[in-house]
Structure 1
Amino acid sequence: MVRTLSTMLPLGTKAPNFALVDALSEKTISLDTFGDKKALLVMFICVHCPFVKHIQEELAKLGKDYLKKGLGIVAISSNDIVKHPDDAPEKMKLMAEKLGFNFPFCYDESQEIAKAYTAACTPDFFLFDQKKTLVYRGQLDDSRPGNDLPVTGKDLRAAIEGVLGDKSLDSEQKPSIGCNIKWKPGNEPPYFG
């Protein structure tokens, strides 16, 4: 597994729009889906990545904890499913059902949405305020597979609480780290590698 850091998209960036099909409901999800939310968390994850597996219970818990507090959440998988069939939409659906995700889990087949967000790894987190302006991009917490630190979600949770509480966030943010997004041959973005 290649350990890859977030690109750390500049704070203040407007959320790129998307229209992707949710593996669970089969409905098309876009930024407009979350128009009434006070904040939006866009997570790039996948099924097979050990970094995602390490935190997957916390991701489900985030959905449960913030569903009624004004946070919209969407998870997106952009991996090449030809080389990584474990990340196919039917496997995404099984993962979401098993973990009890209460948010959409969409497949980015063209990988254009990952590129628009400059997503580089799984997991990669992007938190936007009500105006869909980027206020946080970085890690869930300091826990990684094998480092024996508990998964708490403290960094991302502090950012979510801050944006929901109309507080300004510290611009010093630690990048997420995980497996690189599995780009289709010849589709690697310029920021990759």
Structure 2
Amino acid sequence: MARTPSNMLPLGTKAPNFSIIDSISNKVLCLDDLKGIKGTVIMFICNHCPFVIHVNSELVKVANTYADKGISFVAISSNDAINYPQDSPEKMKIHAKNEDYPFPYLYDETQEVAKAYDAACTPDLYVFDDKLELVYRGQLDDSRPGNGIPLTGKDLRHALDCLIEGKENKTEQKPSIGCNIKWKH
């Protein structure tokens, strides 16, 4: 399994706007509709990546914990569904239901959103403040499939706590590691 790191978009970058279809509701949603009062987490994930499968339960826990604190969560799959049919919008909807996703799961068919965010892997996580400026990008925590480190979400949780408390996050931001986004040719 490939181990692709995040590209680490520069902090302070303004969140690129988007308007794409939610595989769960079949509605077109845009960033302005989805942003949180205090912050917004944009997650590039997919159905079949072993790295995403490994962290799914913790992503759901973190989203459920911080939703009441003014943080919204948005998952996006940008994989080529023609060559990777397990990542089709129909299968995304089933996957979201099976995993109890408490957030929309958007399908980036053109891959324009992934390119705008300079996303490289799944999972690739971004945290934006209330002005939609990037304050964190990188990993959920140090756990990876097979490394024996328990899932805690500590890196993402720390970033969100700093954001909510108005503190600077001085902790090193480590790139996420995962499968590369399946780009169209």
Q: Gaps (5+ residues) in structure 2?
A: none
- The aligned amino acid for 1:113 is V
C-alpha displacement at 1:20, in angstroms? 1.0
TM-score, L = length of structure 2: 0.97
C-alpha displacement at 1:171, in angstroms? 6.3
C-alpha displacement at 1:152, in angstroms? 0.6
Alignment partner, residue 98 of structure 1: 98
Within 5 Å, which residues of 2 pair with 1:136-175? 136-170=136-170, 172-175=172-175
- Which secondary structure state, in structure 1, belongs to the residue aligned with residue 63 of structure 2? helix
CA deviation map 1:46-71 (0-9, x unaligned): 00000000011111112211111100
2:22/2:28 contact within 8 Å kept? yes
Within 5 Å, which residues of 2 pair with 1:11-30? 11-30=11-30
Within 5 Å, which residues of 2 pair with 1:1-193? 1-35=1-35, 37-170=37-170, 172-185=172-185
Give distance in 2, aligned partners of 1:26 and 1:70: 25
- Which secondary structure state, in structure 1, belongs to the residue aligned with residue 72 of structure 2? strand
Structure 1 runs of 4+ aligned residues shifted over 4 Å read none
2:6/2:176 contact within 8 Å kept? yes
- Which secondary structure state, in structure 2, belongs to the residue aligned with residue 106 of structure 1? strand
Q: Gaps (5+ residues) in structure 1?
A: 186-193
2:80/2:182 contact within 8 Å kept? yes
CA deviation map 1:155-179 (0-9, x unaligned): 0010011101111112631000000
C-alpha displacement at 1:91, in angstroms? 1.0
C-alpha displacement at 1:36, in angstroms? 5.2
RMSD: 1.0
CA deviation map 1:61-84 (0-9, x unaligned): 122111111001100000001111
The 3 A distance-change label for structure 1 pair 67 and 143 is same
- The aligned amino acid for 1:103 is F
TM-score, L = length of structure 1: 0.93
- Which secondary structure state, in structure 2, belongs to the residue aligned with residue 150 of structure 1? coil
21-30 or 80-89, which deviates more: 21-30
- Which secondary structure state, in structure 1, belongs to the residue aligned with residue 42 of structure 2? strand
Give distance in 2, aligned partners of 1:51 and 1:89: 20
Give distance in 1, aligned partners of 2:170 and 2:3: 25
CA deviation map 1:16-62 (0-9, x unaligned): 00001111111222111135521000000000000000011111112
